[in-house]
Chains A and B, each alone.
Chain A
């Protein structure tokens, strides 16, 4: 049975990081505005999983408090679940995330590759434009650009 609003609000103060994060996501999905002040506070939580969950919830409630640096930190961590949490968040927000990724393309080759992989996940015309205009002397970055464009080409050719 789904948790009540009160239970979810109380869960934001749990000692269990996963419970805090899950509650934040659920409150965002249910658009419970009453939770917004606490969710805003949690966007700066020291725990990436909690902070990213709160950012997602605030986004659902109409406030863009997303920190691309926190998302990148999670994606670059050794923790598979941190990575997956960040990837799912990017996927859930989708196209509005594209503009946030553009500055990463100008950073180190590793950052550029990360941004390209996320653009690949998001897809759509804006992401495609960024990937198409991406230029790099780094062979790994250039290869990834080609791979993504080829894959999108194949997808476009696929029988619906």
Chain B
């Protein structure tokens, strides 16, 4: 019988039903040895899982990647656990400890929140995974999609979403990034938040280096991408879908191989936002769709009908 790898052990733990606390402990024990391939499996297990198991998965995710992607989720779980009173004690402790790992809070301060006697507490204060040293590995190509205002919870740009799957399959972008740490930003309708997101995108792409970078940005997500080019980020192609065009968000064009701007015939969202629809400069190739509406530019039927892939010269 073949020996069980950490990945197969994780698979078995996640499939198991029963005591979530035991499952959580098992995952935390396994985390230092899990390969990156476990991330997709953990991500898929998050939806609908017991909150205690969710905390363990998020904690293990941080252990593996050093990324604070789940910090807000953990804070929400912590608030819910607090409101549960005594019934939420174990969940509260687990979430608190997981947050402590992310925020760098030392273990001795954990006594402020509990007696530290729970098994999960001991397991969480575990041996640490040896962090990867040096630069992250460079892949050949990466394609990402950036959502716009108040769309961080949207589905179309995530794995399983219509535009994500269309891009991956019909447009043939196997390199479209859809792992748990997929880039996202607050989506707040504020200049300060877009600029922060531009800086975050630059950092994210430095952590996910690729020889060729392609970016789809919808609405202000396109402006976030342009702002990132001022941090030094270079992208080979920037496909802007219905951006509110503002001069103060223009890219550092020397860092953009080719930029495209795709706009609907009538778009009340862009009309009311500060800005216009058109760049009218030599850096951006522009297309006016026959379709109307702010979402039209990321709708697969519109892409098919109006041959947008050909316009942006896909296949690349």
Contacts and interface: CB of A to CB of B under 8 A. Distances in A.
Asked if A pairs with B, the answer is yes
A143 B149 CA distance: 22
Interface in A131-160: 139-140, 142-143, 155, 158
Interface string A43-56: 00000010001001
B271 A22 contact: yes
Nearest to A19: B266
Interface stretch (B43-51, B98-106, B289-297): B289-297
Nearest to B80: A139
Task: Sort chain B's interface into a size bin.
Answer: 20 to 34
A26 interface: yes
A25 interface: yes
Interface string B180-192: 0000000011101
B75 A143 contact: yes
A22 B268 contact: yes
Nearest to B78: A143
B272 A80 contact: no
Interface in A7-36: 16-19, 21-22, 25-26
B230 interface: no
A89 B294 CA distance: 14
A143 B76 contact: yes
Main secondary structure of the interface of A (DSSP, over half): helix
A35 B30 CA distance: 68
Contacts of B295: 79-81
Interface in B61-106: 75-76, 79-80, 82-83
A88 interface: yes
A91 B267 contact: no
Contacts of B292: 16-19
B148 interface: yes
Contact of B267 (A18, A56, A80): A18
B113 interface: no
Interface residues of A, number: 31
B272 A85 contact: yes
A49 B268 contact: yes
A87 B219 CA distance: 13
B273 interface: yes
B2 interface: no
A80 B268 contact: no
Contacts of A56: 272
A48 B104 CA distance: 46
B266 A22 contact: yes
Contacts of B271: 21-22, 25-26, 53
Contact of A120 (B188, B272, B294): B188
A95 interface: no
B78 to A, nearest CB: 9
Given A80-B295, A155-B192, A25 B79 contact: no
